[in-house]
């Protein structure tokens, strides 16, 4: 499975948005810059000459330009058109990789993923029809593998029952890889990216952060909220559910083992697998004596967040108060107004969540004590232990978060 080259998808989105704003010239010049940059990559990639592949991609870029002009005229993009447009990044990359393998005398066969991955028509976040996709994978891909050929297909894309091109959501190539790996009952799924895998902490904040050799699917999922940039673990579910290990590898350091994601993984000597954090959090404290012994209050409270389509992340309650955190503050004024009809409300911004994740945290006595002793001079504003007891999270002032993470990392890993 192949993903679009570099930041191609972002650049396609930019061009499309320019077109939708009626800025045809900006859209077209963005696309021709993308074409030139792609050709530059091809020249490095095909030592024996890239002219033939460049020529093969010309119709792709022509089609993108045609679509951009139409969008600029219409001043809007239909959802189906958007997916068809964005799919070109992956389709082009599929051709490039198939030709590159062939140029090295490997028996590559390029496939059109739209004929293989069947989805519904929720454009932009299409859901695959697992049974139908599995059937097609067995018919179309398995025989190639058996003959020793190398099937090459675009990730991220599929097609609806009506035949429209769909996309599975940003980062969707991993999802395609997991789907196909599961359908083929593969021995392993490998995701080749440009980092060493998942890390014990964000290396930009913690210089001593190190790669995580193995992690369980559940732990990886807990970390996903914190933007563990490497991958979105839920997209790996099809493979994990079938017991197929997924390994994240660095294409710039192929010998480095990377991170293996398994259905379950023992934690070894460190009870903590990774320390994550998220800034830009607001905490909302709702205080009312009406809650005392009353049923239905939480429901009323969460209805307010649901009404404004805002996710709540951490929650902690006492007999007369509920505190929650949120990171999407766009509806905060409306939420606050509605909550104030129910209770006394205190909102504080510029806070951050710190989260320790580990499969065996629940079996590790004294962990919380060790954790809070390490940062005993820090004002901890809210605490919660996830129901899975695979994570312990707490809230601090945003300006304190980086030193807090460094100290915890030193305590648990260094």
Q: In the bound complex, what is the minimum distance in angstroms from residue 183's beta carbon to ligand ASP?
A: 18
Least spacing, CB of residue 175 vs ligand ASP, in Å: 8
Distance between CA 108 and CA 248 in Å, rounded?
A: 23
> Is residue 383 packed enough to be buried (19+ CB in 10 Å), middle (13-18) or exposed (0-12)?
middle
Q: Quick one: 53 or 168, whose CB is closer to ligand ASP?
A: 168
Per-residue x/- track, 165-194, ligand ASP (CB under 6 A) = -----xxxxx--------------------
Measured CA to CA, the distance from residue 303 to residue 293 in angstroms comes to 19
- 8 makes contact with Mg ion (CB under 5 A): no
Based on CB atoms, which residue is closest to ligand ASP, 154 or 405? 154
For ligand ASP, give the closer residue by CB, 170 or 389: 170
**In 3D, which of 54, 14, 10, 15 has the Cα closest to residue 35?**
54
Q: Select 173 or 283, whichever has its Cβ closest to ligand ASP.
A: 173
Residue from 61, 85, 123, 156 in contact with ligand ASP (CB under 6 A): 156
Q: Which of 9, 214, 216, 384 is in the footprint of ligand ASP by CB under 6 A?
A: 9
**CB under 5 to 8 A by kind: which of Mg ion, ligand ASP, none does 271 bind?**
none
Q: Verify binding: residue 69, ligand ASP, rule CB under 6 A.
A: no
- Decide: is 3 part of the binding site for Mg ion (CB under 5 A): yes
Task: Tell whether residue 167 is a contact of Mg ion (CB under 5 A).
Answer: no
Among 2, 3, 183, 396, binds ligand ASP (CB under 6 A): 3
Q: Please choose which of ligand ASP, Mg ion, none residue 89 contacts, taking the beta carbon within 5 to 8 angstroms, the exact cut-off set by kind.
A: ligand ASP
- CA distance linking residue 174 with residue 78, whole number of Å: 26
Contact 382, 394 (CB under 8 A): yes
Nearer to ligand ASP, 250 or 359 (CB): 250
C-alpha angle 147-184-91 in degrees, rounded to nearest 5: 80
Count, residues near ligand ASP per rule CB under 6 A: 12
The residue range among 2-10, 162-170, 310-318, 353-361 that interacts with Mg ion, by the rule CB under 5 A, is 2-10
| Residue 159 in contact with ligand ASP, rule: CB under 6 A | no
DSSP alpha helix (H) spans, 104-245: 130-136, 142-146, 172-183, 217-224, 237-241
Which listed option, ligand ASP, Mg ion, none, makes contact with residue 156 (CB within 5 to 8 Å by class)? Answer: ligand ASP
Give dist(CA 55, CA 173) in Å, integer: 25
Dig out the tokens for 160 from the structure.
Answer: 């609806």
Scanning 185-280, the segments in alpha helix (DSSP H) are: 217-224, 237-241
Enumerate residues 6+ apart whose C-beta is below 8 A from 15: 26, 27, 28, 30, 31, 34, 64, 68
Beta strands, E only, 291-399: 315-317, 321-326, 344-357, 382-385, 391-397
Least distance from C-beta 229 to ligand ASP, angstroms?
A: 12
Q: Does 238 bind ligand ASP (CB under 6 A)?
A: no
Residues in CB range of 292: below 8 A, 6 or more apart: 319, 320
Which residues are 199's β-sheet partners? 211
List contacts with Mg ion (CB under 5 A): 3
List contacts with ligand ASP (CB under 6 A): 3-4, 9, 89-90, 155-156, 170-174
């Amino acid at each position: 499975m192949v993903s679009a080259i570099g930041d191609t998808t972002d650049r396609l989105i930019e061009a499309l948005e320019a077109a939708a704003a009626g800025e045809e010239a900006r859209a077209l010049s963005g696309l021709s810059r993308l074409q030139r940059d792609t050709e530059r990559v091809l020249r490095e990639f095909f030592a024996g000459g890239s002219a033939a592949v460049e020529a093969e991609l010309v119709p792709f870029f022509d089609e993108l330009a045609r679509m951009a002009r139409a969008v600029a005229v219409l001043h809007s993009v239909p959802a189906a058109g958007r997916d068809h447009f964005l799919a070109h990044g992956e389709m082009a990359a599929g051709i490039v990789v198939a030709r590159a393998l062939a140029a090295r005398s490997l028996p590559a066969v390029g496939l059109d993923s739209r004929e293989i991955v069947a989805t519904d028509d929720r454009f932009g976040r299409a859901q695959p029809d697992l049974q139908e996709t599995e059937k097609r994978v067995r018919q179309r891909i398995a025989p190639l593998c058996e003959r020793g050929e190398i099937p090459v297909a675009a990730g991220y894309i599929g097609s609806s029952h009506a035949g429209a091109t769909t996309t599975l959501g940003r980062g969707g190539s991993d999802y395609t890889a997991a789907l196909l790996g599961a359908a083929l009952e593969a021995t392993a799924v490998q995701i080749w990216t440009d980092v060493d895998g998942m890390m014990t902490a964000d290396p930009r904040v913690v210089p001593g952060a190190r790669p995580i050799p193995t992690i369980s699917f559940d732990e990886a999922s807990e970390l996903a909220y914190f933007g563990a940039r490497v991958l979105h673990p839920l997209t790996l579910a099809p493979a994990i559910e079938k017991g197929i290990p997924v390994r994240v590898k660095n294409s710039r350091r192929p010998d480095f083992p990377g991170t293996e994601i398994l259905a379950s993984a023992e934690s070894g000597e460190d009870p903590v697998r990774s320390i994550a954090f998220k800034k830009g959090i607001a905490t909302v404290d709702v205080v009312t004596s009406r809650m005392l012994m009353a049923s239905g209050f939480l429901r009323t409270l969460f209805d307010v967040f649901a009404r404004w389509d805002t996710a709540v992340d951490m929650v902690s309650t006492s007999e007369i108060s509920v505190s929650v955190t949120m990171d999407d503050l766009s509806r905060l004024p409306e939420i606050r107004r509605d909550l104030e009809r129910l209770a006394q409300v205190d909102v504080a911004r510029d806070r951050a969540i710190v989260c320790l994740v580990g499969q065996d945290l629940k079996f590790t006595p004294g962990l919380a004590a060790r954790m809070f002793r390490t940062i005993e001079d820090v004002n901890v504003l809210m605490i919660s232990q996830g129901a899975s007891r695979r994570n312990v999270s707490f809230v601090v002032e945003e300006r304190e978060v980086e030193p807090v993470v460094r100290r915890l990392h030193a305590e648990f890993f260094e």
